[in-house]
Amino acid sequence: MKTLDKYLREVRIAKAKGFVRQGDVVVDVGCADGIMFDRWKGLIEYGYGIDPILEKGQETPGYALYSGSFPEGLPQVKCNVITMLAVLEHIPPEEQAKLPQACHQMLEPGGRVVVTVPSAKVDSILRLLDTLRLVDGMSMDEHYGFDPTHTLRIFMQPLFRLVHRRRFQLGLNNLFVFEKV
């Protein structure tokens, strides 16, 4: 990862942290190397990460990482928070439709889904930054023309209710927080 990629990842992790409570069990969809769990050490009780590009699983005292897809690649766990930071736009539409039910089953009562998705404008900016070799342009081809407002359609009632929504990074990124109903 290039420096700019790391910076953008750190900002997303910091935004999501505001919706994690002391002692939460967290599932991170698209966990990459599990850096989020390292950042939240002492805050969360335990973390489960899943990522299809992870070469092999890893287990530490604070978290376990699994190679595969959500939810089938994870053991059956219950959690308080599910994060999808810059992930939803990489999931094909037919798989997105399965997410609410899978998240609802995994979450404890009152559990939260924390999602960040880029603005539609970001694709052209990322292509330019990739051409200039300032970012790695990770999986940009998988964005499927994702519109951030589709996040609302995916996770709204009857299974979830929106509790927080805001833009950040000059409006180029979107944060959504849904609570299990």
Q: Are residues 10 and 68 in the same domain?
A: yes
Q: How many CA atoms lie within 13 A of 48 on its CB side?
A: 20
Q: What is the pLDDT along the chain (181 residues), one digit of tens a residue?
A: 567 778 889 999 999 999 999 999 999 999 999 999 999 999 999 999 999 999 999 999 999 999 999 999 999 999 999 999 999 988 888 899 999 999 999 999 999 999 999 887 655 555 655 666 655 555 555 545 688 899 999 998 899 999 999 999 776 899 999 999 9
Report the domain count for the chain.
Answer: 2
Q: Does residue 85 form part of some domain?
A: no
Q: Does residue 18 form part of some domain?
A: yes
Range of 162's domain?
A: 115-171
**How does pLDDT run across 98-141, given as a tens digit for each residue?**
999 999 999 999 999 999 998 876 555 556 556 666 555 555 55
- Can you give the pTM of this predicted structure? 0.88
Q: In what order do the strands lie in the sheet with 173-180?
A: 58-59, 63-67, 46-51, 25-29, 79-85, 107-118, 173-180, 160-168
Residues 6+ apart with CB under 8 A from 37: 26, 28, 31, 44, 47, 49, 60, 62, 63
Question: How far is residue 75's CA from residue 6's CA, in Å, rounded to a whole number?
Answer: 29
Helix (H) or strand (E) holding 121: none
